[in-house]
Structure 1
């Protein structure tokens, strides 16, 4: 249903995908992966139409719990190309942006 990717695999593919941070806005503002869009898991049901089904969806949260739930919700709604970052943002060592 959802493929969990190592940081290297995630880095290799996320630029060609829809990179979605499912954490809450205050967490996102504190720091996020460069290029990510913030669609909190609590709003995903209402904002799902913002995501394209024909492009891969790369998800991450702080540790992996919320992105797993978000992936299940997307899968139930017909999304098939879903990936998540192993260990979440707290293990990310790549480029980040913060407000």
Structure 2
């Protein structure tokens, strides 16, 4: 019952991340270089949150699907906000990278 209620009242349902990737989407991991080196989703790009505003040009298209991830979802939420403010139009917070990896 709770699942049904969430589906009915959730104005921002979770996107199909696999489908976004099929449509030229990318995974942007905003953890530090050291955190990324310990483990990450294969094929993801690493731009640490603290350097995102200066290195966002590595993301080529402003309308390309971008799925942000980090350790728990806090930094990826901030990354989504930053990218939206920079004019990126198709940004999704994937949350923690391990949880996101399990959804792909």
TM class by smaller structure: 0.7 to 0.9
After superposition, the Cα gap between the structure-2 partners of 1:57 and 1:63, relative to the gap in structure 1 and judged at 3 Å, is same
Output the CA distance in 2 between the equivalents of 1:94 and 1:33: 11
Q: 36, 41, 49: which is aligned to 1:41?
A: 49
* Alignment coverage as a number of residue pairs: 90
Relative contact order, CA 8 A, sep 6+: which one is greater?
1
The two structures have a TM-score, normalised by structure 1, of 0.78
| TM value normalised by structure 2 | 0.74
Q: Which one has a larger percent helix, Structure 1 or Structure 2?
A: 2
Listed as ranges, the gaps of 5+ residues in structure 1 are none
Is 1:72 aligned to 2:60, yes or no?
Answer: no
Unaligned 5+ residue runs, structure 2? 1-11
Which structure has greater strand proportion? Answer: 1
